[in-house]
Amino acid sequence: MKNIVIVGCGTGIGLATAKILSEDHTVTGISRSKHPDSESAGFKFYEMDILSGNLDDISFPDIVDGLVYAPGSINLKSFNRLSEEDFINDFTINVLGAVKCIRKLLPNLKKSGSASVVLYSSVAAKTGMPFHASVAASKCAVEGLIRSLAAEFSAQKIRFNAIAPSLTDTPLAYHLLSTAEKCEASAKRHPLQRIGNADEIAKLTAFLLSDDTSWITGQVFGIDGGLSTIKL
């Protein structure tokens, strides 16, 4: 049984991951909002905004075997409409929030001897898409971060990997999938002709935290219906 910390477990991918992992592991979850499902999901929950909250107020396990940082943003605007504040906000939630959590839990992760950290990038970091300048810039930073940390902490047996989804049916993407017409149009942009769901991303996350991936680090895994690599 591993000790897993999941940041951003209130909804979407973070909650789906917490549900899966809490079946066999001890999960500590942090989110600024508490989903009703978290009451019965079998994990310890702390309500906190990770960007403004004090992580010293949380009782973490002495040994942490896995860390998942799930908060993110979907800020799609034309470049002319993006402000410097937009870029700063996206970078803060996608990168600096992850840095804050990793710095706090690094001593706990080192004690594991086989720890794994999973962050989230985006298909837009690899594939140029209009209206994605701000979010793509911050997600590219996520990919650079995991590769650098994977190299720096390989001697401590801490693995760092990222998952790069395309559009996934979660509350974060609600405004992009709020009608049947929007869902159909989004599905048709993917070679597999559908959008992803949170459970699919959560299962890959759980796999990357498992001992079955103990020789994988510094990688970015696309789970995007083929959008990043296939042109039909």
The answer to the question of residue 205 being in a domain is yes
Question: Mean pLDDT throughout 172-182?
Answer: 75
**pLDDT beyond 60 at 122:** yes
What pLDDT score does 174 carry?
66
The answer to the question of residue 191 being in a domain is no
Q: Which domain holds residue 36?
A: 3-168+197-223
Pairwise pLDDT comparison (36 vs 133), residue with the higher score: 133
CB 220 within 8 A of CB 161: yes
Q: How many residues does the chain have?
A: 232
Q: Token pair 């949380």 is at which residue?
A: 58
The answer to the question of residue 181 being in a domain is no
Integer Cα distance of 59 and 57 in angstroms: 7
The answer to the question of residue 187 being in a domain is no
pLDDT digits (tens, 9 = 90+) for 213-224: 999 999 999 999
The answer to the question of residue 202 being in a domain is yes
Who's near 209: CB < 8 A, 6+ residues apart? 2, 4, 21, 65, 66, 68, 116, 118
The answer to the question of residue 75 being in a domain is yes
Q: What percentage of the chain reaches a pLDDT higher than 90?
A: 79
**CATH number where 203 lies:** 3.40.50.720
Confidence of residue 43 (pLDDT cuts 50, 70, 90): confident
What pLDDT score does 64 carry?
98
Question: What count of other Cβ atoms lies within 10 Å of the Cβ of residue 87?
Answer: 16
The answer to the question of residue 174 being in a domain is no
Structural domain tally of the chain? 1
Integer Cα distance of 132 and 86 in angstroms: 11
The answer to the question of residue 97 being in a domain is yes
What pLDDT score does 173 carry?
66
pLDDT digits (tens, 9 = 90+) for 153-169: 999 999 999 999 998 88
Confidence of residue 36 (pLDDT cuts 50, 70, 90): low
**pLDDT beyond 90 at 114:** yes
pLDDT digits (tens, 9 = 90+) for 203-212: 999 999 999 9
What pLDDT score does 73 carry?
85
